[in-house]
Structure 1
């Protein structure tokens, strides 16, 4: 038990709070750079699993991934074999910045102890939004943030006789869980408080997702504000109550299982209590080296931080495993005595619901307005392959460009096979600060099985170039 910072014979101690992507990437990278004789690494994880893919949970629930363990990149035993003192089922309950120590509690026994640190990594992740509404804690109501959550949902699906599912929320998790439940043979209703699903898209592109989901047999209800979860025998869920748009009335949706896909918020209660700086979205604020601002020996990464949006210049909260792993690498390099930075993001994300692929990068129209940018928008219809080649599928591309300068501001793509990963072209262009006119000259790969002669992204760039020129005339 370390009540103070003891003399460890010149060996430093790195303490990591959180055993998933950012935390264990940081611990692993620091270990690669410094051996146990120079750096002791202690990591705390309150759950049962480490280094797992939360993004893969919908595909495990839906049956595309057969086994839970396929989602685990590295087990606790593997981390320990690499010289990391990983303490599972141990929750950090307090950070004492002044004394450079953390208080941890064994989840099963309740025993508490203090551990001192020379360097600290905060990787506490995010917590699912769970509204405080009547019945929200009923049996059969599930979030899907951890592997434990996924297993609990599968257990419910295996023991529930009814086949009616309600998904609350229509963001990435919501639409992915709608597909998973559809694959499991459920009658699925999605309740969305917004005007269209996928609020990460502009409403006109979200409408395409709505129409496709309805075509797949999913009931999509927009403008639905959930007010209550109804329960029946044994406290099990039996329905969800929602108010319609503009006071259109109360509607009850029968449900044998409810899945919450409302989104997440940074898990920063510990950091806030310790007096560490938080941003407008509740995430920790860091510098380019992922150090918590104003604290030389404290780093933070993953879903608990805010990141710089390279397009708008503002801070955002984006909960994605890609960012968490990269930030963990940066943190581990710096904590291990090297040097690395995480410059920011452009907000790229892809998803799918059944055969429909959904992608976005950069700014939406409302993001551009909020940033004070003047812009033009274009939307084009194209196909994934040459029109004469078998399997060509429709694709819609929307592009935003800054008025006068023509700088690319954002791209959204909705289509079938071959649509989503095309957004990577736009992501690179955004990162490079390219104009839409410059994009039209990109030397992209072409063959009829993969693309029309003019790739859909380039068609959109050409049309955006014409719109910029027209505005400047």
Structure 2
């Protein structure tokens, strides 16, 4: 049999690797097409590369094409799949030299996501960057280095950068550009950065962003990009015009499923591919024979709200790809869904969430209560103790833990994992108050912030 993989990043190559582990080369031929130049890399690390915190791109690559080829996976970079014919079981592929077709028995669709680009963002002028691939990171780094090296009028100092979009990537990129010596303005259409957390927690994030010297403009809509001499010069908004020598777009992503849609492969309600628990593509008529999908091109089930969502994260892509590869190889594995766990860092401020936010809980129809507490990461008398804020949501009648959010300094964000395990296992906040968490003054107060928050919301039930 032959399996063709569309997409050479986390999901596609995890699937290929797992299938190869279970089926020998004479049982399954694996051919993977990647339109970019890299395989299996950490896109989440790009802001830290741009901010000169890590070297790249080699440091961000988990496995290169040569390694996969040694394992019997024929990876071809610089090859874009442009068409799928399910009836003929072929794909059309284009590279720099030619266009050709290849046949398949099994198809692994792992084309990832594509950036959201409003009409005003489709501008060919230089100095405008997305932040989706290692190639995007390399292009921005080259541009910034030309400032620092004296090109285009001098170093980064005194240059203006505008980051559009205040989500995870936008906030991280704004910090990275500050580190590179630019004046940075962060523009967000909603009323707060990091809209995945509640407004009171988002206000803490906003304070941290402004504390870095970033000009934060919320509730502002971008209308156009001003350019001249083939370069970006300014960002036009409904709240005025902002000078810009460089613009970074962080407007989110959507599933990259146009190729699947054109081939007649059914899409789900979010525009992503719908799959069953084993990552087989499904539609109104059931499983699509021989077609699997994983990663940012798929939609997932939120296990708390029950809603179908598009949640593009490398953690999910790796897990889904692994599940698909195990099943393709004759084993059995499932991917049940997600609970919305995510963390990030703005300078020394850590932000984390899991489960549902208040807005999401309301949309799902829950009656719930919340409690917000202030605590510290260590015993108050121990050196290095710093504050953190923890917010917990619980169902009003049952006490079922619905979600949690944490904003704090050192050692704050990873405390969300205790909440994530509790949400995953449908624990009540009363049950959480008895958790046997580790204690010693260098690591936690005698009452860990997790336990304090659970107890406070349990008192409201």
1:334 correspondence with 2:334: no
Which has the larger displacement, 325-334 or 125-134?
125-134
SS in 1 for 2:131: coil
Q: 1:187 aligns with which of 153, 178, 183?
A: 183
Which has the larger displacement, 93-102 or 413-422?
93-102
1:211 aligned partner: 207
| CA displacement 1:383-432 (0-9 Å, x = unmatched) | 11111111111111111101101100010111111111010001000110
1:237 correspondence with 2:232: yes
| Partner Cα distance (1:98, 1:185) in 2 | 55
> Which residues of structure 2 form unaligned runs of 5+?
148-153
The alpha-carbon deviation at position 338 of structure 1 amounts to 1.0
1:247 aligned partner: none
1:118 aligned partner: 105
2:89 aligned partner: 100
Q: 1:60 aligns with which of 42, 49, 57?
A: 49
Are residues 16 and 135 of structure 1, via their aligned partners in 2, closer, same or farther at CA, if it must alter by over 3 Å? closer
Are residues 191 and 136 of structure 1, via their aligned partners in 2, closer, same or farther at CA, if it must alter by over 3 Å? farther
SS in 1 for 2:288: coil
| CA displacement 1:128-163 (0-9 Å, x = unmatched) | 112211774321010111111000001111123352
2:118 aligned partner: 131
Are residues 347 and 123 of structure 1, via their aligned partners in 2, closer, same or farther at CA, if it must alter by over 3 Å? same
TM-score w.r.t. structure 2 length? 0.95
RMSD: 1.1
| Partner Cα distance (1:20, 1:36) in 2 | 21
| CA displacement 1:51-71 (0-9 Å, x = unmatched) | 111000000010111231000
1:156 aligned partner: 143
The alpha-carbon deviation at position 371 of structure 1 amounts to 1.1
1:422 correspondence with 2:415: yes
Contact map agreement 1:136 1:228 (CA 8 A) in 2: no
1:349 correspondence with 2:342: yes
Contact map agreement 1:143 1:149 (CA 8 A) in 2: yes
| Partner Cα distance (2:123, 2:351) in 1 | 30
TM-score w.r.t. structure 1 length? 0.93
1:199 aligned partner: 195
1:17 correspondence with 2:6: yes
| Partner Cα distance (2:110, 2:40) in 1 | 12
Q: 1:275 aligns with which of 249, 261, 264?
A: 264
Q: Write out aligned runs for 1:425-444 (5 A).
A: 425-444=418-437
| Partner Cα distance (1:405, 1:348) in 2 | 22
| CA displacement 1:44-96 (0-9 Å, x = unmatched) | 11110001110000000101112310000111111111101112111111111
| Partner Cα distance (1:334, 1:40) in 2 | 16
| Partner Cα distance (1:334, 1:67) in 2 | 34
SS in 2 for 1:213: helix
SS in 1 for 2:394: strand
| Partner Cα distance (1:135, 1:367) in 2 | 32
Contact map agreement 1:163 1:256 (CA 8 A) in 2: yes
Aligned residues: 448
Q: 1:172 aligns with which of 165, 168, 172?
A: 168
2:278 aligned partner: 289
Q: Write out aligned runs for 1:241-390 (5 A).
A: 241-244=236-239, 251-293=240-282, 294-390=287-383
| Partner Cα distance (2:51, 2:400) in 1 | 40
1:409 aligned partner: 402
Contact map agreement 1:135 1:228 (CA 8 A) in 2: no
Q: 2:21 aligns with which of 22, 32, 47?
A: 32
| CA displacement 1:184-211 (0-9 Å, x = unmatched) | 1111110000100001111111111001
Contact map agreement 1:135 1:229 (CA 8 A) in 2: no
1:145 aligned partner: 132
Which has the larger displacement, 168-177 or 178-187?
178-187
| Partner Cα distance (2:361, 2:200) in 1 | 16
| Partner Cα distance (1:289, 1:320) in 2 | 18
Runs of 4+ with >6 A deviation: none
